Chains A and B, each alone.
Chain A
Amino acid sequence: MALLEVADLVVRFRTHDGTIHAVNGVSFALEEGETLGIVGESGCGKSVTSLAIMRLLPKPAGHIEGGSVRFDGQDLLACSEAEMREMRGRDMAMIFQDPMTSLNPVLTIEEQMLETIQAHRKVGKDEARARAVELLTMVGIAQPEDRLKAFPHQFSGGMRQRVMIAMALALAPKLLIADEPTTALDVTIQAQVLELLGRLTTEGGTAAILITHDLGVVAGMTQRINVMYAGFIVETAPTADLFAKPAHPYTVGLLHSIPRVDAPPGEELIPIEGTPPDQRRAPVGCPFAPRCAWRLPVCWEANPVLQPLRGGGPVVTTGPTATHRMACHNPPTREEAAAGRPLRDGFVVAPPPSAVAAEIEVVEP
């Protein structure tokens, strides 16, 4: 059985402006020691998914309205708050984007690290401090004994993120969720932190979910990737497969809209025109249809489900041989994916049905 199994997860936020459909039925699984990347833009539900797994959704707005999350054989959604608190830190840990706001500015690093360790382990102060020193050494902070006395503001951004990693791994959790761990950092510091994260999760056999908007980061760090858009997983595949054979129009669009440092001269970017949908509307049809260059009339009506690229054989959801699946009625061919646009003679995108035309922004490619 997989370490983590998320099935048909639905998360909504009730706000004064209406209900936000943040996650709309997401299913995936993760084996022990596996590294999964979740890629998407702001508002695609990648962070909300992970907060829901940790049961850390902002209250009172955030609600898990359906589905199940099983971790290590336990139904997380049925756990009490006390049981969750036991598990967080010990079995599952999280690293956030901004290391400054995730550390308490008025406590020293020592106080914060000892608190984490002593909350879960019955150890004395000296023993906990020895563990803290060991952890800081592990993440490459020089003179750890002295640095324990420092406050977060006395650390640089990269060092703060190292402290966060040290704290997250303090109790050797089975699952580590890193939500944009390097987005706030400079690129050479990002390289340091990614290298550290990769080494420590491999050494410790920790399963990791890496959430990011940066396709470059997941390319080098993960074994498998879920691409999310507007609260849905639109494509999932082993990392090498996803980059070699992107199949969903959104994935194809993303890959064509980022400049590559190793691209041939005169490289042309093909942006995805338009903007992500307003998630106050309940999703009808394919969420990507208003921006899609491949859309058919059916795309406005029926939301495609995740299906294997090639039929036949059982669907494998985890591991290096996971089935490449995507949710699209009219997937681009290999040639079209390489070109970034439809190449069929006389193909015209389906116009929106009159019922929705006035309400949403639709892009004519």
Chain B
Amino acid sequence: MSLAVPPPDGTPLVEVEGLKVYFPIKEGIILERHIGDVRAVDDVSFTLRRGETLGLVGESGCGKTTTGRAVMRLYDSTAGTIRFDGVDVTASKGEALRRMRRRMQMIFQDPYASLNPRMTVNGIVGEPLDVHGEGGSTAERRARVGELLATVGLDPEFGVRYPHEFSGGQRQRIGIARALALSPELIVADEPISALDVSIQAQILNLLQRLQDRLGLTYLFIAHDLSVVRHISDRIAVMYLGRIVEVAASRELNLRPLHPYAVALLSAVPIPDPAVESRRRRIILSGDVPSPVNPPSGCRFHTRCWLRDRMGNPERCVAEDPQLRVLSTGHEVACHFAEEVDGSAEQVQATGARTLGTAGSGDAAGSGGAV
């Protein structure tokens, strides 16, 4: 049994259309009344192609984790379809779902909470094999687990130890080995490095990239940190309050963000370089993210939008819900006035480009980075 999967050919692996995940709010003890919904994910569509990494980025409560879990069928969706390799998984159940599930695996944020403290590493990494009846004989199973541990850079001898004997970074490697056990095609990684120390984060990021190259994996990479998402993703989808507000190629999004929220998010990411920091200016968004129980009308970002403020608060933002529209190849934005963002001082300052006007051009890439 090898770890190889069919080579990535750029065909869609996951197609999400109009996905909604609502969590009901109920009141009353005996007679439960449904009084509202937390609209965690509210009409989200995207496609994940074989072999690519799509980054889902946004702040807490924006629905990125819920989206990831809905794709895994860990949450039932309220509406919409999720097609995995052409098959609608929102409808599948029982044996069909079980067979589908082994093709998608998840890596969790907290390497302390996601490993059973009473199981040995061999038990943890081998459990998916047992569940799906792939373990084979004891010797085969042990060999396979050893191979998986070696793949993630752990000594196969460690298999007899328990999770508490490992550091955070090593635990995350164990979690990755478990996710790889069934040779999945899709891996949903939910904040896989945010609980780790800085020097360990790069180890795990590099490991994930090596594994993708070697095994042809497709990643849905969920994180709040735009610099991490940018590093690993081919394309990035920015979420705000249950919606995708902008999708673009990773590089394009960082050089030419077009949604006012994406610009603000990018401007807020600190860059470890005082020279760049001194010429950037943060866009300070006022207030907090509104409640997803009762999202603002029209554009959900209008209550905090700096662009709307500058344009004299046009009525359209409050009245009309902007849909994702294509502004250039592969670059979609859900903002009525995205054209106003392009080339604005805010956009330039957020990207940290050296001079006005270079933010959109191709050769600006190095000007901010190579110092």
B303 CB, min distance to chain A CBs, angstroms:
13
Say yes or no: A219 contacts B277, CB within 8 Å: yes
- B96 at the A interface (CB under 8 A): no
Interface 9-mer from B9-17, B98-106, B281-289, B335-343: B281-289
B193-207 interface (Cβ within 8 A of A): 197-203, 205-206
Say yes or no: A263 contacts B198, CB within 8 Å: no
CA of A239 to CA of B60, assembled, Å: 31
A-B contact count (CB 8 A): 142
For residue A51, which residues in chain B have a CB less than 8 angstroms away from its CB?
A: none
Interface 9-mer from A23-31, A85-93, A250-258, A346-354: A250-258
CA of A13 to CA of B88, assembled, Å: 57
Task: State the main secondary structure of chain B at its contact with A.
Answer: helix
Decide yes or no: A191 and B202 within 8 Å by CB, A240-B274, A262-B276, A265-B251 being known contacts.
no
For residue A215, which residues in chain B have a CB less than 8 angstroms away from its CB?
A: 198, 272
- B169 at the A interface (CB under 8 A): yes
Decide yes or no: A188 and B369 within 8 Å by CB, A243-B275, A261-B227 being known contacts.
no
Say yes or no: A261 contacts B224, CB within 8 Å: no
**Could you mark each residue 242-283 of chain B with 1 if its beta carbon is under 8 Å from any beta carbon of chain A, else 0?**
000000000100100000000011111111111111100011
CA of A170 to CA of B261, assembled, Å: 33
Decide yes or no: A186 and B351 within 8 Å by CB, A258-B202, A259-B205, A269-B202 being known contacts.
no
CA of A115 to CA of B138, assembled, Å: 65
CA of A255 to CA of B264, assembled, Å: 24
**Could you mark each residue 285-327 of chain B with 1 if its beta carbon is under 8 Å from any beta carbon of chain A, else 0?**
1001100000000000000000000000000000000000000
Binding site for A on B (CB under 8 A): 59-60, 167, 169-170, 197-203, 205-206, 224-228, 230-232, 251, 254, 264-278, 282-285, 288-289, 351-352, 365-366, 368-370
**Could you mark each residue 270-283 of chain A with 1 if its beta carbon is under 8 Å from any beta carbon of chain B, else 0?**
11110110000000
Name the CB-closest residue of B to A39: B198
CA of A64 to CA of B357, assembled, Å: 55
Say yes or no: A272 contacts B199, CB within 8 Å: yes
A200-223 interface (Cβ within 8 A of B): 213-217, 219-220
- 15 A–B contacts, CB within 8 A, in A order: A186-B60, A191-B283, A192-B285, A216-B227, A254-B198, A258-B198, A258-B272, A259-B202, A259-B228, A260-B271, A262-B352, A263-B230, A267-B231, A272-B202, A273-B203
B212 CB, min distance to chain A CBs, angstroms:
14
For residue B271, which residues in chain A have a CB less than 8 angstroms away from its CB?
A: 216, 219-220, 260-262
**Contact partner of B365 among A187, A256, A265, CB < 8 A?**
A265
A77 CB, min distance to chain B CBs, angstroms:
30
For residue B232, which residues in chain A have a CB less than 8 angstroms away from its CB?
A: 259
Additional 8 contacts, C-beta under 8 A, given A219-B272, A261-B230: A41-B197, A254-B198, A259-B232, A261-B266, A261-B271, A262-B271, A262-B351, A269-B202
Q: Which size class do A's interface residues fall under?
A: 35 or more
For residue B366, which residues in chain A have a CB less than 8 angstroms away from its CB?
A: 264
For residue A41, which residues in chain B have a CB less than 8 angstroms away from its CB?
A: 197-199
For residue A258, which residues in chain B have a CB less than 8 angstroms away from its CB?
A: 198, 201-202, 227, 272
**Contact partner of A188 among B198, B206, B268, CB < 8 A?**
B268
B322 CB, min distance to chain A CBs, angstroms:
20
CA of A65 to CA of B355, assembled, Å: 53
CA of A42 to CA of B266, assembled, Å: 26
CA of A112 to CA of B59, assembled, Å: 29
Say yes or no: B272 contacts A257, CB within 8 Å: no
- A244 at the B interface (CB under 8 A): yes
**Contact partner of A261 among B201, B269, B275, CB < 8 A?**
B269
- A321 at the B interface (CB under 8 A): no
A61 CB, min distance to chain B CBs, angstroms:
20
For residue A255, which residues in chain B have a CB less than 8 angstroms away from its CB?
A: 272
**Contact partner of B370 among A189, A264, A271, CB < 8 A?**
A264
- A301 at the B interface (CB under 8 A): no
Say yes or no: A240 contacts B275, CB within 8 Å: yes
Name the CB-closest residue of B to A263: B369
CA of A72 to CA of B275, assembled, Å: 33
Name the CB-closest residue of B to A220: B277
Decide yes or no: A271 and B288 within 8 Å by CB, A220-B277, A259-B228, A259-B230 being known contacts.
no
B222 CB, min distance to chain A CBs, angstroms:
14
Say yes or no: A264 contacts B224, CB within 8 Å: no
Say yes or no: A267 contacts B369, CB within 8 Å: yes
CA of A105 to CA of B331, assembled, Å: 46
CA of A258 to CA of B200, assembled, Å: 10
B231 CB, min distance to chain A CBs, angstroms:
3
B158 CB, min distance to chain A CBs, angstroms:
12
Say yes or no: B206 contacts A271, CB within 8 Å: yes
For residue A318, which residues in chain B have a CB less than 8 angstroms away from its CB?
A: none
For residue B254, which residues in chain A have a CB less than 8 angstroms away from its CB?
A: 261-262
- A159 at the B interface (CB under 8 A): yes
For residue A137, which residues in chain B have a CB less than 8 angstroms away from its CB?
A: none
A152-202 interface (Cβ within 8 A of B): 156, 158-159, 186-192, 194-195
Name the CB-closest residue of B to A256: B202
B236 CB, min distance to chain A CBs, angstroms:
11
CA of A179 to CA of B273, assembled, Å: 21
Say yes or no: A219 contacts B274, CB within 8 Å: yes
